[in-house]
Amino acid sequence: MRTAIVWEASPHHHKILVEGAPLQTMDRYRQDRSEKTEAGGILLGYRKGPHLHIVQVTVPQLTDRCRRFRFDRSAHHHQQIALEQWHVSEKTMDYLGEWHTHPEINPSPSGVDINEWVKITNRQTKPMVFMILGLTGTIWLGLSVHHALIKCSTTATEGT
C-alpha cells in the first residue's frame, strides 16, 4: 500500500505532496496487463504558497476515451467533480493538474502529452502538476511554472 510522496521542483523550491489515497486510486489503473487501456483524470488539492498538496484524483468517466496507447479526457464530468469538491471545501480545493497512465516501466511524456499540457498551462497562471504512472508504479512528475515545464525529482521522499 502506497503512502504519501513528496517531490521537489528545483530551482523554484516548490514541493508537491501527493497523499497515499490518490496514489492508491491511480495504482488501480496501472497498465500492468496487456488488455488494460490508458486511464487518467485530474488532480485536486490545495495550494499553500509555492507548494501543492494533492488529496484527490478523478478516475476515468464514461465519456472519456481509453485506448491502449491513448487517453482522451472528456472535461464535463471531471469538471463537475472538481466544482463539487470546490464547494464542499468552502472554495479551497483547487484543480492542480492532470494524471494518466502509460504502458511502460519508466514513463515519459509523449509529444501529444506535452501539447495538451501547453494548452492547459496557457490557460492557467498558477503552477500545474502533470503525472504519468508507469506499469510498475513508477511515476513521472512535472510541474509547470510560468509556462515552463520542469521535471521534478524522480527520487521522491516517501512518508507515512
Q: Residue 135's closest CA among 74, 69, 63, 73?
A: 69
What are the Cα distances from residue 91, in Å, to 16, 28, 31, 82, 115? 20, 29, 34, 10, 29
Looking at residue 13, its pLDDT comes to 83
pLDDT digits (tens, 9 = 90+) for 4-61: 999 988 777 899 999 999 999 999 999 999 999 999 999 999 999 989 999 999 999 9
38 is known as an active-site residue: yes
Pick the catalytic residue: 8, 35, 38, 84? Answer: 38
The pLDDT of residue 154 is above 60: no
Residues 6+ apart with CB under 8 A from 48: none
Look-up: residue for cell 493538474?
A: 97
Q: What is the CATH number of the domain that holds 154?
A: 3.40.140.10
**Structural domain boundaries enclosing 54:** 5-158
pLDDT digits (tens, 9 = 90+) for 57-107: 999 999 999 999 999 998 889 999 999 999 999 999 999 999 999 999 999
pLDDT classification of 160: cutoffs 50, 70, 90: very low
pLDDT digits (tens, 9 = 90+) for 131-145: 999 999 999 999 998
Look-up: residue for cell 483547487?
A: 94
Domain count, the chain: 1
Q: Can you give 21-62 as a three-state secondary structure string? A: HHHHHHHCCCCCCCCCCCCEEEEEEEEECCEEEEEEECCCCC
Q: Cα-atom radius of gyration of the chain, to the nearest Å?
A: 15
Looking at residue 1, its pLDDT comes to 83
Reduce the DSSP state of residue 160 to 3 states and report it.
coil
Q: Which of 18-32, 101-115, 116-130, 140-154 has the lowest mean pLDDT?
A: 140-154
The pLDDT of residue 156 is above 70: no
- Classify residue 13 as exposed, middle or buried by CB count within 10 Å of its CB (0-12, 13-18, 19+): exposed
- Residues 25, 60: Cα–Cα separation, whole Å: 11
pLDDT classification of 158: cutoffs 50, 70, 90: low
